[in-house]
Amino acid sequence: MYHIIMDNFTGKYCVVTYGCQMNLHESEKLAGILEDLGFTRIDNENNADIVVFNTCCIRENAEKKAEGNIGALKRIKRNKKDMIIAVGGCMTQQAGYADKLIKEFPFIDIVFGTHNLENFAEMLTERLENKKHVVKVDEKEGKIIEGTKKTRSSFPNGWVNITYGCNNFCTYCIVPYVRGRERSRAPEAILDECKQLLDAGYKEITLLGQNVNSYGQDLKTVDFAELIERISALDGDFRLRFMTNHPKDLNEKMVKAIAESPKTTRSVHLPVQAGSDRILKLMNRHYTRAEYLDKVALLRKYMPDIAITTDIMVGFPTETDEDFNDTVSLVKQVGFAGAFTFVYSPRTGTPAAKMAGQIPEEVSKERIMGLIDLQNGINRAQSKSYLGKETEILCEGFDEKKNKFLGRDTYGRMAYFDGKDLIGKFVNVKITKAGGISLYGELVSVKQ
């Protein structure tokens, strides 16, 4: 059926992704569905027969970017009437957004919510048969659907979902509204997927969840620590990573399991968001500055060399200079191995968007610049300490611009080096030059 319909097309698809790793992985599922239907991948959306936008709405600029790119296809579609344009992902899941989207961009063919991704093939058929818009945005999450084919694009790393959704309702965050309640995937399904990846030669597994530490709370038969132990017991030379951790749920049992695993990397992403207790409370993060620092100390007790990275937000409603200075002092105190910094962006429907005391953009901009400068200095100092040392890297890819291979060490530090045929291999690299956060070095040996 699909193939007969698809014969009308030249059969090229393009999935354009915005947002987090979760979305990147979901685009791998969309690619799997489309390839199953007979489409082949093309990277330029203007030349595709079907374009799927997998969107993000975490901050306003993510939405603006997607809307701009969708709008740009209007002109292309005018000369290419058969082109199918589909929009899915977090943006479409916001209340009333699907209708607004169709009104603003009537040339869109399909709008689907985050809970409807697995049914993309049926939506496409419906669209091709009825020649109308197809809009499917279920308000509530359904049961986890297993077995969706994936066309992965991140070898030698394989993403593996362990939870979907989020129950935390941080007051600034749209995710719980667009991804639904937290659901943990059955451990057997996770282990099966990990095994398949390892059998296919993947060398790194990254477990994905909005809060991986609360994995299993709904299943009640397994927790995150046990999951780490079970995956770590799988045969093979591979690295195990996971994101994102939530400081309120990371506990000693988990830290021990991470420390004792022969596979986990020595890097942990532990978003702090802010260093002021007053702001953390307003954010509904469920930890204080002191409790966050206790979690850092716990990680360092079991893994003294652990590299801790973080997310930080500036300009949350009512943030004073004093609050911001608490963030600055925390950054200095912890010595993060990297930090993603964001200016707070009000999201309609979240409690923070209605709070009094929204911070002017100029103030937030100035604060974030100060923070970036500070973290850059920390990164530079940490990079310099690598000079002359050897570090084991998993080669992840080739950078065309730099004309060098690249990969990360166990601390998550990126390094560039010359060589031949290295993707998916563990290599030793001697660091000869330290950039801001990246390193440059010479290939010493390749692990066989």
The residues of the shown chain that bind ligand F3S, judged by CB under 6 A, are 19-20, 22-23, 56-58, 90, 174-175, 178-179
Which of 101, 104, 6, 3 is closest to 53 using CA atoms? 101
Which of 147, 138, 200, 192 is closest to 165 using CA atoms? 138
Q: Tell me if 267 sits within 8 A of 337, measured CB to CB.
A: yes
The contact pattern for ligand SF4, residues 211-250, with x = CB under 6 A and - = no contact, is: x----------------------------------x----
In a 3-state reduction of DSSP, which class is residue 277? helix
From ligand SAH, ligand SF4, ligand F3S, none, interface partner of 440 (C-beta below 5 to 8 A by class)? none
In sequence order, the 6+-apart residues with CB closer than 8 A to the CB of 369 are: none
Work out which of 17, 114, 116, 210 binds ligand SF4, going by CB under 6 A. 210
90 in contact with ligand SF4 (CB under 6 A): no
From ligand SF4, ligand SAH, ligand F3S, none, interface partner of 123 (C-beta below 5 to 8 A by class)? none
CA distance 302 to 267: 13
* Order of strands across the sheet that contains 204-208: 157-161, 204-208, 239-243
168 in contact with ligand SF4 (CB under 6 A): yes
Nearer to ligand F3S, 22 or 258 (CB): 22
For residue 137, CA distances in Å to 18, 101, 119, 161, 276 come to: 19, 12, 11, 21, 38
Nearer to ligand F3S, 172 or 324 (CB): 172
Nearer to ligand F3S, 270 or 406 (CB): 270
Q: Of the listed pieces 145-153, 165-173, 216-224, 228-236, which binds ligand SF4 according to CB under 6 A?
A: 165-173
Nearer to ligand SAH, 327 or 345 (CB): 345
- At 100, give phi and psi (nearest 5°): -60, -40
Output the six-digit token pair for 84.
Answer: 């199918």
Output the six-digit token pair for 348.
Answer: 């309609």
The residue ranges of DSSP E strands in 90-209, in sequence order, are 110-112, 134-136, 157-161, 163-164, 183-184, 204-208
173 in contact with ligand SF4 (CB under 6 A): yes
What is the number of the residue whose Cβ is closest to ligand SAH?
A: 311
Q: Tell me if 180 sits within 8 A of 141, measured CB to CB.
A: yes
Nearer to ligand F3S, 137 or 178 (CB): 178
Torsion angle in degrees (nearest 10) through CA of 342, 345, 349, 352 = 80
Nearer to ligand SAH, 151 or 167 (CB): 167
Alpha-carbon torsion 260, 264, 265, 266, what sign?
negative
Q: Of the listed pieces 77-85, 161-169, 319-327, 399-407, which binds ligand SF4 according to CB under 6 A?
A: 161-169
Nearer to ligand F3S, 68 or 304 (CB): 68
For residue 286, CA distances in Å to 44, 313, 331, 359 come to: 44, 16, 19, 23
Indicate the DSSP class of residue 350: S
Nearer to ligand SF4, 141 or 229 (CB): 141
From ligand F3S, ligand SAH, ligand SF4, none, interface partner of 342 (C-beta below 5 to 8 A by class)? ligand SAH
Taking the complex as a whole, how short is the minimal distance between the CB of residue 179 and ligand SAH, in angstroms? 10
Q: Which residue has the tokens 């000693």?
A: 252
330 in contact with ligand SF4 (CB under 6 A): no
Taking the complex as a whole, how short is the minimal distance between the CB of residue 243 and ligand F3S, in angstroms? 11
Nearer to ligand SAH, 229 or 311 (CB): 311
Strands 110-112 and 134-136: parallel
Taking the complex as a whole, how short is the minimal distance between the CB of residue 170 and ligand SF4, in angstroms? 3
Taking the complex as a whole, how short is the minimal distance between the CB of residue 433 and ligand SAH, in angstroms? 31
Nearer to ligand F3S, 198 or 243 (CB): 243
Q: Which residues bind ligand SAH (CB under 6 A)?
A: 58-59, 172-173, 175, 210-211, 244, 246, 271, 273, 311, 313, 342, 344-345, 347
Q: Tell me if 389 sits within 8 A of 430, measured CB to CB.
A: yes
Taking the complex as a whole, how short is the minimal distance between the CB of residue 351 and ligand SF4, in angstroms? 11
Output the six-digit token pair for 266.
Answer: 């020595």
Q: Of the listed pieces 171-179, 185-193, 221-229, 416-424, which binds ligand SF4 according to CB under 6 A?
A: 171-179
CA distance 82 to 404: 40
Taking the complex as a whole, how short is the minimal distance between the CB of residue 103 and ligand SF4, in angstroms? 28
Q: Catalog residues that contact ligand SF4 under the rule CB under 6 A.
A: 166, 168-170, 173, 175-176, 210-211, 246
